[in-house]
């Protein structure tokens, strides 16, 4: 798409107009929530930003008693997203750009409150996607029956790599790994769902879904508000429940719980990162688990197929094996970690900053998943 020349039009207006054109129609939607043990109606209502009486009305409940496994309509509407700079924001960061390597915005809320907001946001978004895909013409669902856990690298206390980059006007900007891989993960999730897979993410942002990037100097800000996709874990009033290197195994626990349902041979785990390795060339690197001489064959096959899907004509992708906490003890039938770009290369860090490039990266990852799933 060619962007209109800005001329005298205020650039904010241009951005708003483009966002409106790209945004899918926003409808009121109702998502379905499956009651977990220990839930109360009041808690569910606050989590989804609705009221006990609304839930009772929607489900024609005569009393407030509920039981685990019960499926409840919750009045969570995507219309309620407090968007102030586009339909895909819940709230915007204070700064419109990552000013320096060290800049960070910590959350004013508890992990529990951020989890509730994040869950509300993602549930409303998923309901909207299901609604949209459900209405689409009968299509091929090559990933029907597959359960795929996507793991956006870092987040919370740990932003991952932060590198400096520049705009065409030589203004310095910074690229924060966790914010950009989160965006790519959202894009991968959308496509995999479109192909019929059940998809979840290990980490959630209370503020963002997919974000488009129109202005070169507006880079994603290092927000430290992400939480694990684990309600009970976030109930602890402890800032250490935010993702960090100290609790990396939580990613595996979240994934393994997801894999309890469904067929073991149709479960996949993909961890998404952007590498910062000056000693290797730019481009993707796919890693599968290997501990000593113990190597997981399906994961190696998945990694090889993914590597092929990620290969560009001019930028080859690499493959490697490592013993990694996020892959170890993972119950998926195959699990890999993808370093989608190497941000020690200026060109790769640049590419991450633009949504067209992030969409291409996401599409390649989806290709890899499709090729693996349909090869068996
Ligand atoms: Zn990383």
What is the chain's pLDDT, residue by residue, as a tens digit (376 residues)? 333 333 343 444 444 433 333 343 333 345 677 788 888 888 888 766 678 888 898 899 999 999 988 988 876 444 444 444 344 556 778 888 998 999 999 999 999 999 988 988 888 788 777 777 776 656 678 999 999 999 999 999 999 999 999 998 999 999 999 999 999 999 999 999 989 999 999 999 998 888 888 888 889 999 999 999 999 999 988 989 999 999 999 999 999 999 999 999 999 999 999 999 999 999 999 999 988 888 889 999 999 999 999 998 888 999 999 999 999 999 999 999 999 999 999 999 999 999 999 999 999 999 999 999 999 8
* Count of other CB atoms within 10 angstroms of residue 84: 9
Residues 6 or more apart whose CB falls under 8 angstroms from that of 237 comprise 110, 112
User: How far, in Å, from the CA of 161 to the mean position of ligand 1?
Assistant: 7
User: How far, in Å, from the CA of 146 to the mean position of ligand 1?
Assistant: 26
Confidence at residue 104, expressed as pLDDT on a 0 to 100 scale: 95
Do the Cβ atoms of 121 and 206 come closer than 8 Å? yes
Here the ipTM equals 0.92
User: How far, in Å, from the CA of 265 to the mean position of ligand 1?
Assistant: 27
Confidence at residue 89, expressed as pLDDT on a 0 to 100 scale: 59
User: How far, in Å, from the CA of 339 to the mean position of ligand 1?
Assistant: 7
User: How far, in Å, from the CA of 277 to the mean position of ligand 1?
Assistant: 11
User: How far, in Å, from the CA of 27 to the mean position of ligand 1?
Assistant: 36
User: How far, in Å, from the CA of 376 to the mean position of ligand 1?
Assistant: 30
Three-class HEC string of the chain: CCCCCCCCCCHHHHHHHHHHHHCCCCCCCCEEEECCCCCCHHHHHHHCCCCHHHHHHHHCCCCCCCCCCCEEEECCCHHHCCCCCCCCECCCCCCCCCCCCCCCECCCCCHHHHHHHHHHHHHHHHHHHHHHHHHCCCCCCCCCCCEEEEEECCECCECCCEEEEECCCCCEEEEEHHHHHHHHHHHHHHHHHHCCCEEEECEECCCECCCCCCCCCCCCCCECCCEECCHHHHCCCCHHHCCCHHHCHHHHHHHHHHCCCCCHHHEEEEEEEEECCCCCCCCCEEEEEEECCEECHHHHHHHHHHHHHHCCCCCCCEEEEECCCCCCCCCCCEEEEEEEEECCCHHHHHHHCCHHHHHHHHHHHHHHHHHHHHCC
User: How far, in Å, from the CA of 248 to the mean position of ligand 1?
Assistant: 12
User: How far, in Å, from the CA of 352 to the mean position of ligand 1?
Assistant: 14
State the Cα–Cα distance between residues 288 and 338, nearest whole angstrom: 9
User: How far, in Å, from the CA of 153 to the mean position of ligand 1?
Assistant: 5
Residues 6 or more apart whose CB falls under 8 angstroms from that of 136 comprise none
Confidence at residue 75, expressed as pLDDT on a 0 to 100 scale: 63
Which tokens sit at 66? Answer: 């509920």
User: How far, in Å, from the CA of 298 to the mean position of ligand 1?
Assistant: 23
Q: Which long-range contacts (CB under 8 A, 24 or more apart) does 65-69 make?
A: 66/35, 66/39, 66/40, 66/41, 67/35, 68/35, 68/36, 68/37, 68/39, 69/34, 69/35
Do the Cβ atoms of 192 and 215 come closer than 8 Å? no
User: How far, in Å, from the CA of 20 to the mean position of ligand 1?
Assistant: 33
User: How far, in Å, from the CA of 283 to the mean position of ligand 1?
Assistant: 14
Closest residue by Cα to residue 154 from 248, 238, 269 = 248
User: How far, in Å, from the CA of 338 to the mean position of ligand 1?
Assistant: 9
User: How far, in Å, from the CA of 22 to the mean position of ligand 1?
Assistant: 30
User: How far, in Å, from the CA of 367 to the mean position of ligand 1?
Assistant: 22
State the Cα–Cα distance between residues 207 and 294, nearest whole angstrom: 40
Residues 6 or more apart whose CB falls under 8 angstroms from that of 234 comprise 111, 112, 114, 115, 227, 228, 241
User: How far, in Å, from the CA of 322 to the mean position of ligand 1?
Assistant: 14
Do the Cβ atoms of 185 and 201 come closer than 8 Å? yes
* Count of other CB atoms within 10 angstroms of residue 24: 11
Confidence at residue 188, expressed as pLDDT on a 0 to 100 scale: 97
User: How far, in Å, from the CA of 300 to the mean position of ligand 1?
Assistant: 20
Confidence at residue 30, expressed as pLDDT on a 0 to 100 scale: 52
Confidence at residue 35, expressed as pLDDT on a 0 to 100 scale: 86
Domain 126-374 superfamily per CATH: Zn-dependent exopeptidases (3.40.630.40)
User: How far, in Å, from the CA of 273 to the mean position of ligand 1?
Assistant: 4
User: How far, in Å, from the CA of 272 to the mean position of ligand 1?
Assistant: 8
């Amino acid at each position: 798409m060619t962007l209109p020349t800005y001329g005298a039009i205020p650039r904010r207006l241009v951005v708003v107009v483009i966002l409106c054109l790209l945004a899918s129609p926003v409808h009121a939607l109702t998502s379905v929530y499956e009651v977990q043990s220990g839930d109360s109606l009041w808690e569910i209502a606050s989590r989804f930003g609705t009221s006990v009486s609304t839930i009772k009305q929607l489900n024609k409940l005569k009393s407030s008693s509920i039981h685990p496994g019960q499926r409840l309509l919750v009045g969570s509407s995507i219309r309620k997203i407090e968007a102030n700079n586009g339909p895909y924001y819940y709230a915007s960061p204070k700064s419109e750009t990552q000013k320096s390597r060290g800049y960070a915005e910590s959350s004013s809320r508890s992990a529990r409150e951020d989890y509730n907001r994040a869950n509300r946001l993602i549930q409303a978004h998923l309901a909207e996607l299901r609604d949209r895909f459900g209405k689409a013409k009968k299509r091929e669902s090559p990933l029907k029956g597959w359960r795929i856990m996507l793991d956006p690298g870092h987040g919370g206390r740990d932003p991952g790599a932060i590198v400096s980059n520049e705009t065409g006007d030589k203004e310095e900007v910074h690229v924060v790994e966790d914010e950009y891989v989160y965006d790519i993960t959202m894009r991968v999730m959308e496509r995999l769902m479109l192909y019929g897979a059940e998809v979840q993410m290990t980490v959630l942002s209370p503020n963002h879904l997919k974000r488009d990037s129109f202005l070169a100097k507006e880079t994603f800000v290092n927000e430290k508000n992400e939480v694990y996709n684990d309600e009970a874990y976030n109930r602890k009033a402890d800032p250490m429940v935010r993702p960090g290197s100290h609790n990396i195994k939580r990613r595996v626990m979240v994934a393994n719980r997801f894999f309890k349902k469904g067929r073991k041979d149709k479960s996949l785990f993909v961890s998404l990162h952007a590498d910062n390795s000056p000693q290797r060339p730019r481009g993707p690197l796919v890693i599968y688990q290997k501990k000593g001489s113990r190597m997981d064959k399906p994961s190696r096959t998945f990694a090889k197929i993914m590597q092929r899907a990620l290969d560009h004509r001019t930028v080859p992708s690499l493959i490697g094996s490592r013993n990694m906490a996020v892959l170890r003890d993972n119950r998926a039938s195959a699990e890999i970690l993808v370093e989608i770009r190497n941000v020690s290369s200026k060109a790769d860090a640049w590419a991450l900053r633009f949504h067209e490039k992030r969409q291409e990266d996401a599409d390649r990852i989806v290709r890899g998943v499709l090729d693996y799933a349909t090869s068996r």
